[in-house]
Structure 1
Amino acid sequence: MLLEIAVTSAEGVDIAATEGAHRVELTTALELGGLTPSQGLMESGLEAAGHRLGIHPLVRCRPGDFLYSEDELRLMEREVRSLVGQGADGVVIGALTPAGIVDRVAMRRLAEVARNHDAGVELTFHRAIDQVADPFAALDVVMELGFTRVLSSGQHSTVAAGLGQLRRMREHVGSGIQLMAGGGLALDDVAQVRNAGLDAIHLSAKKVVSTAKSGTVSLGAADGSDPTAYMLTDAEIVRAARAALQR
C-alpha cells in the first residue's frame, strides 16, 4: 500500500520525499479543500522532488461544488495542459453534473488534454465521488474513461466512518482501478484500510503555523479567524504514516 501526501509548498514536497512518501498531491489553499497550484509552485515542487517521488497536482479552479461552467472547464483545460507540460506525473481532477453523476463530457475533455501531452500520464478522480448519488455507477464511468485511481472517504466525512462503503467499492471494481483512502484519515485507521484491500492512503499531514500578536488586524476574515495562520507539512506526521504502513 502506497502513501500520498497533500502538500502546498516545495518544502512540503521535500519533506514527503525525505520521509518516504511515494507521491504527493500538489495543491494550494488546503483550508478551501485544495486549489490548482501555480506554474511557479509546480516548477519548485519538481526541483524539490528530484525524481524521488511522483507529483500529481490538483486541478480545481475554485472552491465550492464540482459543477463547472464552460469558462471554468476551459480554464482547467489550460491548467492541465500547463502542468502536464511542466512534467507532472499525473493530475487530480473531478466534475459532476447537477443530477449528481460524473460529468462524463468534462472528464473526457480534461483527460484528453492530459493524454495529448503525455500518453502515460496518471489520472486521479478526487473526492467529488463522495458527493455522487450512486458511487458504483460513478466508478464504472471513471473506469470506462481510463482513470488510474479514485480518492474517496467512502462517502462519509472520515475514512473510518466510510470504511464499509470503501470495502464495497473495492469489491465492485476488483482490479479495474486503484482505490485510495483519504479524507479525515487517522493513522489508527491504516491497518483497517489495508485489510479492506485498498491501494493507498492519502493525508495532508499538516500543522497550522501562526505569527499572530496581540492587536493583529484582520485582513477580511469575517469569522474572526487568525489572519496570520497558514499550513505546513509536518515531517513527524509523514514519518508516522510511513511507519504505520510498514507495520
Structure 2
Amino acid sequence: MLEVCVEDGAGMAAALAGGADRLELCVALDLGGLTPPSSLLDLAARQPLPVHALSRPRPGDFAYNARDCALVQADLAEFAKAGLAGAVIGCGGRQGLDRGALAEWVDHARALGEARGRPLSLTLHRVFDLLDDPFAGLEIAVELGFDRILTSAGAVRAGDGVARFAALVKAASGRITIMAGGGLEPAAVAALRAAGVHEFHASCRSPVPKACVDARLIDLGFQAGRGRQTDVSRVAAFVAATS
C-alpha cells in the first residue's frame, strides 16, 4: 500500500498516473502540511482513489488550545461532507498524546461516519514521533480506535528507524497498522517490509525544473525558492518497491 501526500490538483494527477493506492491531502507540505481548503477537498473527492485529508489548523507544535480543537472538529465535518475516505489527526507533545482531545475527535468522526453510512478511516499523524514514550502512545491510539499510525519511528528519515519499526509492529500485534513515512526513499522499503511494515507514505516530490521557475515570483515573495512538485517517476519507483 502506497499513500502519496499531495497538495494540489497536479499532485493528485501525478500520484494517480504513477500508480498510488491512496492519497493524503493537505497544503503547505514544506511546513509539514496544513488543512486543505474545501475547494481542494471537493476536487480530491472526485479522484478514483481513496483520499484521507490532514487536519492541522496551524504550523508548529501539536499542543492545541480550545480554538484549535474546534477547528479540527469542523475539519472532520468538512471531510465527511466532501465524501472523503478518512482523516489524519493528532494532538499532544513529548510528554504524551492529548487523550481528551483525541477522544472527542474520534467520537465526532464516528458519529459523522454513522450519519453518512460509511466510517471515516482515522490515522494518527506524526505527532507520534515527538513522544518520549511511543509505546504508551501506541496503546492510547489502539484504545481510542485509530486505524493506523503514520510514523518515521522517531527518526528524521523513516529508513533509519528499521529496528524501532520492527518493535512497533510487534507491539501493535495486528491491533493497529504502522505506516512508515517521513523522509522515505524507495531504497528503504525492502528493509521496512522485512520489519513487518506494509503501508508506506511519501510525498514523492522532486525540485521544479529551473526552466519552469519564474524568478519574479520568488522576488515578490509569492514563491519560496524553486519549490517541489509530485513526480510521476518517483511515485512509480515507490510503487515498484512496495509491489
Same fold (TM over 0.5): yes
CA offsets per residue over residues 66-107 of structure 1, 9 Å max, x none? 10010110011101111111111000000005x620111111
Q: Does 1:113 align with 2:115?
A: no
1:54 paired residue among 50, 72, 86: 50
Correspondence for 1:203: 202
Deviates more, 1:29-38 or 1:153-162: 153-162
1:104 paired residue among 77, 85, 99: 99
Q: Specify the code of the residue in structure 2 equivalent to 1:115.
A: R
CA offsets per residue over residues 200-229 of structure 1, 9 Å max, x none? 1110011233523379524289xxx52xx4
Deviates more, 1:147-156 or 1:209-218: 209-218
Instruction: State the distance in 1 between where 2:122 and 2:102 align.
Output: 10
Q: Specify the code of the residue in structure 1 equivalent to 2:54.
A: L
Contact kept in structure 2, 1:153 and 1:163, CA below 8 Å: no
Instruction: State the distance in 2 between where 1:218 and 1:96 align.
Output: 36
**Residue 245 of structure 1: CA displacement?**
1.5
Contact kept in structure 1, 2:159 and 2:189, CA below 8 Å: no
Instruction: State the distance in 2 between where 1:214 and 1:83 align.
Output: 36
CA offsets per residue over residues 171-196 of structure 1, 9 Å max, x none? 11110000100011111001011101
2:233 paired residue among 227, 236, 246: 236
The alignment's C-alpha RMSD in Å is 1.8
TM-score normalised by L of structure 1:
0.90
Correspondence for 2:148: 149
**CA distance 1:219–1:112, shift in 2 (3 Å):** same
Counting only pairs closer than 5 Å after superposition, residues 48-87 of structure 1 correspond to structure 2 as 49=47, 52-87=48-83
**Residue 20 of structure 1: CA displacement?**
1.8
3-state SS of 1:160 partner: helix
Q: Specify the code of the residue in structure 1 equivalent to 2:15.
A: A
Correspondence for 1:165: 164
Stretches of structure 2 lacking an aligned partner (at least 5 in a row): none
Instruction: State the distance in 2 between where 1:216 and 1:71 align.
Output: 33
Instruction: State the distance in 2 between where 1:35 and 1:11 align.
Output: 18
Query: Which one has the bigger helix percentage?
Result: 2
Instruction: State the distance in 2 between where 1:129 and 1:100 align.
Output: 11
Instruction: State the distance in 1 between where 2:217 and 2:95 align.
Output: 45
**Residue 11 of structure 1: CA displacement?**
2.5
**CA distance 1:214–1:138, shift in 2 (3 Å):** closer
- Work out the percentage of aligned pairs sharing the same amino acid: 33
Instruction: State the distance in 1 between where 2:218 and 2:122 align.
Output: 43
**Residue 111 of structure 1: CA displacement?**
1.3
Q: Specify the code of the residue in structure 1 equivalent to 2:191.
A: Q
Instruction: State the distance in 1 between where 2:85 and 2:216 align.
Output: 44
**CA distance 1:214–1:144, shift in 2 (3 Å):** closer
3-state SS of 2:45 partner: helix
Correspondence for 1:34: 33
**Residue 116 of structure 1: CA displacement?**
1.2
Correspondence for 1:212: 214
Q: Does 1:189 align with 2:188?
A: yes
TM-score normalised by L of structure 2:
0.92
Counting only pairs closer than 5 Å after superposition, residues 13-24 of structure 1 correspond to structure 2 as 13-24=12-23
Stretches of structure 1 lacking an aligned partner (at least 5 in a row): none
CA offsets per residue over residues 93-128 of structure 1, 9 Å max, x none? 00005x620111111111122221114210000111
